[in-house]
Structure 1
């Protein structure tokens, strides 16, 4: 994915902090060695002096100046190492200590993102998704069909296939998912599975409970003091690769909130940014509660997956109580 400017700046600030810390550590250790190791500072000053002297000779046309410089620096560096070790310091004591030695905490190797930068992107996306801890438990590695039977099992298997296809074609096809059905049948779980896979592949995912989303949208409508923060929030909301709205129907709604909700869905559709909505409402309840416009948007532009069965959370609790 292409990082937003704010996301890129957040990561680069971390790299700048790392480089600053490494530089300060070297400076502190150098001052310590100068104070404790007799002759070490003089050798460093000699290297600097010889470099300037030989540089002048090189500019004046002395063809042997560069070779002489390398020989002198090599000899003096060996003496520095000897002094360090004789004083009880490791040979690399004054070498910068980097979090990532491969890129030396720049984030790039030969103009390409280092593996540590790619991991930093994933870590940032997890942090901004708001569901890092949840996704450690809710992912395809913990998926089980053991709690479903008959038609319930068939519906859940169909939903899993839809989720895996959603992930597989995410970068090539624009599509959305709408999960509805009875409580505790895996809707939020599968949303988490998708979020985990997409974040791991470097896509931005934002999760909101419906109650949290509507409350935030309503509050922002009357907040005239924090315009920059609100603009940034809406840019993320409209522009993230995937927006997950969980438990639609649990929030307080009114005509204004419903209108703002439709605008959000419509703008993300225009931006071709995918959305997943989960709810315990029936399709009829969806139409009655959120207007024909929202109902039409969902039924025409979302893949609809119905979930049925026993509340898995309650079932797990009963099984644990029997042990």
Structure 2
């Protein structure tokens, strides 16, 4: 043993030979017992980080997904995704004039999921209340979560409330909020729902630009849904924020009648 520590080449080679013999003997014993060669090797749920949660000091995708899953469970969005997904989506709610547009939009959403790993793209769903904007973002979120991506969903109110706690009420900041603040900028997909329902002030304006700009710099996709028109967005938010959204987002407008009203009427006829 001392010779190995001192760097004796002969002793090192002898040790390697001994270890090879032990490894071969182990294989023989496993085979005799009817077990595969790798039977005693650890089995990891995540082969990338070997269940440590980190790769070279950075969060592994499995840890990000676990955190996201916890956040979704806490916000009750997990139950929503069970009801609002591509499997429950039906074209029956659209009339003949709406169907071509909505078929195109829905196929575009499915393509967005398919190409997510290879194509960087941000989406802005805008238009009237009740036309299915949130439903479509939930469809995308659910599929990407199934694929192991980290997806974080916030209503605009929740997002800016979380950011305000982090910035101004440090005594209320726990480990979860600190982690969420970090992941807002670094998760695979950030969804901001109902932009425009928050109380707009200088803090909100600066934080919205920071999120949009920083995530764009990192090439991390963002999906925004809003009941505001393009003109409303231009007037309500800063010029540089509007410029980023207008130039960096694919704009999608489901120009149809209120689905909630149509579904309610259909239900009342039964």
Of the candidates 269, 285, 288, which is equivalent to residue 235 of structure 2? Answer: 288
Of the candidates 156, 169, 174, which is equivalent to residue 120 of structure 2? Answer: 174
Structure-to-structure mapping, 1:258-273, within 5 angstroms = 258-273=205-220
How far off is 1:237 after superposition? Answer: 0.6
Cα distance in structure 2, aligned partners of 1:320 and 1:110: 45
> Which residue of structure 1 lines up, in the alignment, with residue 166 of structure 2?
220
SS at match of 2:231: helix
Structure-to-structure mapping, 1:85-100, within 5 angstroms = none
How far off is 1:164 after superposition? Answer: 1.4
How far off is 1:317 after superposition? Answer: 1.7
TM normalised by structure 1 equals 0.61
SS at match of 2:190: strand
SS at match of 1:179: strand
Aligned length: 222
8 Å Cα contact 1:246-1:277 kept in structure 2: yes
* Cα distance per residue 1:169-204 (max 9 Å; x no partner): 111111111101111111111101111110101000
Unaligned runs of 5+ in 2: 1-24, 30-38, 54-60
8 Å Cα contact 1:204-1:240 kept in structure 2: yes
Alignment partner of 1:207 is 2:153: yes
Of the candidates 104, 108, 113, which is equivalent to residue 44 of structure 2? Answer: 108
8 Å Cα contact 2:93-2:263 kept in structure 1: no
* Cα distance per residue 1:289-316 (max 9 Å; x no partner): 1122121111111111111222212221
8 Å Cα contact 1:125-1:202 kept in structure 2: no
> Which residue of structure 1 lines up, in the alignment, with residue 129 of structure 2?
183
* Cα distance per residue 1:263-306 (max 9 Å; x no partner): 01111111111100011110000111112212111111111111
Alignment partner of 1:126 is 2:46: no
TM normalised by structure 2 equals 0.73
Of the candidates 234, 244, 248, which is equivalent to residue 181 of structure 2? Answer: 234
Structure-to-structure mapping, 1:78-89, within 5 angstroms = none
Q: Which has the larger radius of gyration?
A: 1
SS at match of 2:193: strand
Cα distance in structure 1, aligned partners of 2:62 and 2:210: 34
> Which residue of structure 2 lines up, in the alignment, with residue 249 of structure 1?
196
CA distance change for structure 1 residues 321 and 123 in 2, over 3 Å: closer, same or farther? farther
8 Å Cα contact 1:214-1:252 kept in structure 2: no
8 Å Cα contact 2:65-2:145 kept in structure 1: yes
8 Å Cα contact 2:101-2:254 kept in structure 1: yes
Q: Which has the higher contact order (CA 8 A, sep 6+)?
A: 2
> Which residue of structure 2 lines up, in the alignment, with residue 82 of structure 1?
none
